[in-house]
Structure 1
Amino acid sequence: MSVRIGLVGARGHTGRHLLRLLAGRGDMQVVCAGSREFAGQAVTTLAPEADPALVFEALTPDDIAARGLDAVILALPNGAAAPYVAAIDAGSPETVIVDLSADYRFDEHWVYGLPEIYGRDRIRGATRIANPGCYATAGQLAIAPLRDVMAGTAHVFGVSGYSGAGTTPSRKNDTVALKDNLMPYALTGHLHEGEMARHTGRPVAFTPHVAEFFQGLTATVQVGFAEAQSAETVRALYEAAYRGERLIRLIDAIPEIRDGAHFNGAVLGGFAVSKDGMRGVSVCALDNLLKGAAVQAIQNLAIATGLPEFDGLV
C-alpha cells in the first residue's frame, strides 16, 4: 500500500522537512506539491531527496480536491486552510486531511493528533486531523503526566528559534533584531495557551519568546501540587506515562535547545520539586519543525491510514 499525498504549502520550513521525511518512506508518496512562489520549479531545488520528476504547482483548492488523493497535508499559515478543507469536503470527503495550522485544533469534529498523550485509537481511521502546535506539543508533554496530582494553573515559559515565525518577514524572524536578544511576545492569550488548556483540561498560562537560533524550542513548565510530591514520584509519573514511546526520551539533566533540535522526538527532564514538595518544574525540548510539526504530521497520517508509525522516524 502506498498513500498518495498532496502537500500544500510545500515551500515553507515545515514543508521542506515533510518532503525530506516522506521521501524516505516507501509507503507514502508526494504526488503534488503546492507553492505559488516556486510554481514550475523542480521540487528537488528545495528538497534534493524528493522525486526528480516532481514540480511545484500553484494548486487551488479545487485542484487538490480533483486529484483523487489519499491524503492532503496542509502546511499553511493560520487562517488559510478553510478553502482547501471545504473543497475536499465537497469533492473528495474520504481524503485524509492533516492540517498543521491552528484552524481546527478547537473543532470538535476534528481529531486532535498528539498520539503519545491522547491515544492512537482516536486517530485510526480518522479523516480530519488537527496537528498540534509546536509549543503546545512541548507544554502538553510536560503537563500531561502531572494532571492527576496538580492543582491550579500550569505556567509554561517557552523559547523558540526564529523558524517558528515562518517565512513571511517580521521582527520575530529578523536576525538583526534578534541578535544578542531574547524577544518576548503575546504575553497573554496566545493560541497555544488556549490549545494547551483545552486539551489538558487544566488552566495554562503561557509566555512565548523567540531567540536568534534557527530551530528548536524549550518549554519550562511549573505546576503546583494538590499534595506534596517527591522528585522520585514525579519522575515515576513521567516514566509510566511515556513507557514504550519511541519518540520520547527522559533524562535526569535539564534539557537544552541542542537536545531537542534536529531530533525527531521530544526530550523531557529536570523533574525538580520544591523543598516543601508543593511545586514541580520540568522541561521539554523538541524541534519545532519536526516533532512540533512535520514528524507529528507523519505520525498522524501513518496511524490514520494503518501504516507503520515510526518508519523513517527512529
Structure 2
Amino acid sequence: MQSVKVGIIGGAGYTGGELLRILLGHPKIEFAFVNSASQTGKHVWEIHKDLFGSTDLKFSNEKDLGKADVLFLCSGHGQSLKFLNENSVPEKVKIVDLSTDFRDESNGFVYGLPELKREEIRGMQKVANPGCFATSIQLALLPLAHKGLLKNDVHVSAVTGSTGAGQSLSATGHFSWRNNNISVYKAFTHQHLKEIGQSLRQLQGDFVHDVNFIPYRGNFTRGIMANVYTAFEGSAEEALALYQEYYQAHPFTFAIDQTIDLKMVVNTNKCIVQVQKQGKHILITSIIDNLVKGASGQAVQNMNLIFGLEETTGLSLKPVGF
C-alpha cells in the first residue's frame, strides 16, 4: 500500500516526542504535519533533543487536517474533545486519541487495547488509546477474565516513572523531589480504574468485584511495574498455560514464570507478565514502558491495525540492557 500520511496534534510533549521517535523508523508513513501551537516554527529536535540529526521536521500550527490520513491526538486530557469540537476532521481521516477523553467508547471510538479488541480495531475510524497503568494492569488480568476466573476482589500495587505525569512541571515532578523518593497517590481512586473495569466486564460479564489499586510515583523516568493478585484455585502450571495460550497470537505480550525487571521492556512496545502461584493466590507481575506500550507505541500498533499493516511494523524496538 501507499504510505500513510500522519498528522500529530500536540507534538511537543512526551507522548508526541516518543511518537515522532517511533514513526521516524516506520517504513510505511510520511509526515503531513506536526502541530504545536506553543512551538510553531521550531525544529522538532529543538524540543526533543534525542531527534537531533534524525529529522529536519518543524512544528507547525497546521489546521488543514485533510492533508493527513491519520491524526494522532497527543494533547492533554480534555483537550481532544475540545479539539474535535472546534475543528472539522474530514471523514477520510482516521483518529488515534491518546487522552482519556474517549476511552469509554463514546463518540464512535473503539477502545484500543489490541490484546482485547484487535479485530474491532482493524479498519476502525476512531480509536481511543488505553492509559498506561490501565494497559499494564489489564494485560495482567485479561486471561483470567476471558475464562471467567475473576471470582474475588483484585489487588494491585503498581509503580510508574516520572514521565507518566507529563512534561509540565509540578511539585511532585521535579528531580529534587523525585530523586531518592517514593510516594502513593490516588489510592483506590485512580482514573484508569474505570477503563479497567469496563474491559474486564466485556470479557466476564458477571465481574462485580473491586479492583483495589495503589499507585506509586517512582524515582525513575520511565516504565511501569504492576503486581496484581487475586484468588486462584488452579496450579502454577495451569496458570502459566492459561496466560501463554491467551497471548500466543499477540506479538508484544509474553507470559513467563521467571523473574522479570523493568529494563527488559523499557524502550520497547512489549509487555512481559510473570505468573506465579502463591498459596491460594495467583500473582501476576506486569511490566511495560509507560511511554511506548503504555502510550505512543501502542498508538502506532493501533495505526498499523487500522490501515491493514503488519501489526509489528515500525515497532521492532530493542531495550537498553545496561
Q: TM-score, normalised by structure 2?
A: 0.89
Deviation at residue 32 of structure 1 after TM alignment = 0.7
Deviation at residue 87 of structure 1 after TM alignment = 4.7
Partner of 1:166: 166
Distance 1:133 1:30 in 2: 25
Moved more, 2-11 or 203-212: 203-212
Deviation at residue 250 of structure 1 after TM alignment = 2.5
What residue identity is the alignment partner of 2:250? E
Partner of 1:57: 60
Structure 1 pair 180/238, CA: closer, same or farther in 2 (3 Å)? Answer: same
Partner of 1:232: 237
Structure 1 pair 176/91, CA: closer, same or farther in 2 (3 Å)? Answer: closer
Distance 1:222 1:83 in 2: 38
User: Superposition pairs for residues 67-78 of structure 1, below 5 Å?
Assistant: 67-78=66-77
1:14-45 Cα distance to aligned partner (Å, 9 max, x none): 21111111111221122211122321111233
1:35-69 Cα distance to aligned partner (Å, 9 max, x none): 223211112332236542x210234xxx153x432
Partner of 1:207: 214
What residue identity is the alignment partner of 2:220? F
What residue identity is the alignment partner of 1:7? I
Aligned with residue 256 of structure 2, among 240, 251, 254: 251
Aligned with residue 307 of structure 1, among 301, 306, 309: 309
Q: Is the 8 A contact 1:3 1:29 kept in 2?
A: yes
What residue identity is the alignment partner of 2:32? V
1:278-305 Cα distance to aligned partner (Å, 9 max, x none): 3211100110000101110001011111
Distance 1:205 1:64 in 2: 45
SS of the equivalent of 2:272 reads: strand
User: Superposition pairs for residues 191-206 of structure 1, below 5 Å?
Assistant: 191-201=191-201, 202=207, 203-206=210-213
Distance 2:252 2:9 in 1: 26
Structure 1 pair 91/284, CA: closer, same or farther in 2 (3 Å)? Answer: closer
Aligned with residue 266 of structure 2, among 237, 261, 264: 261
Distance 1:110 1:194 in 2: 16
Deviation at residue 254 of structure 1 after TM alignment = 3.2
SS of the equivalent of 1:214 reads: coil
User: Superposition pairs for residues 96-111 of structure 1, below 5 Å?
Assistant: 96-108=94-106, 109-111=108-110
Partner of 2:42: 41
Deviation at residue 263 of structure 1 after TM alignment = 2.3
Partner of 2:135: 137
What residue identity is the alignment partner of 1:76? S
SS of the equivalent of 2:120 reads: coil
Distance 1:74 1:229 in 2: 43
Give the gaps of 5 or more residues in structure 2.
202-206, 317-322
Distance 2:79 2:310 in 1: 30
Percentage identity across aligned positions?
A: 31
Distance 2:264 2:302 in 1: 23
What residue identity is the alignment partner of 2:273? L
What residue identity is the alignment partner of 1:117? L
What residue identity is the alignment partner of 2:73? L
Deviation at residue 155 of structure 1 after TM alignment = 1.6
Q: TM-score, normalised by structure 1?
A: 0.91
Deviation at residue 261 of structure 1 after TM alignment = 1.5
Deviation at residue 177 of structure 1 after TM alignment = 1.3
Partner of 1:84: 83
SS of the equivalent of 1:171 reads: coil
Aligned alpha-carbon RMSD (Å): 1.7
Deviation at residue 253 of structure 1 after TM alignment = 2.2
Distance 1:171 1:165 in 2: 11
Structure 1 pair 49/105, CA: closer, same or farther in 2 (3 Å)? Answer: farther
Distance 1:34 1:50 in 2: 18
Q: Is the 8 A contact 1:159 1:217 kept in 2?
A: yes
1:70-91 Cα distance to aligned partner (Å, 9 max, x none): 1100111111101322355x44
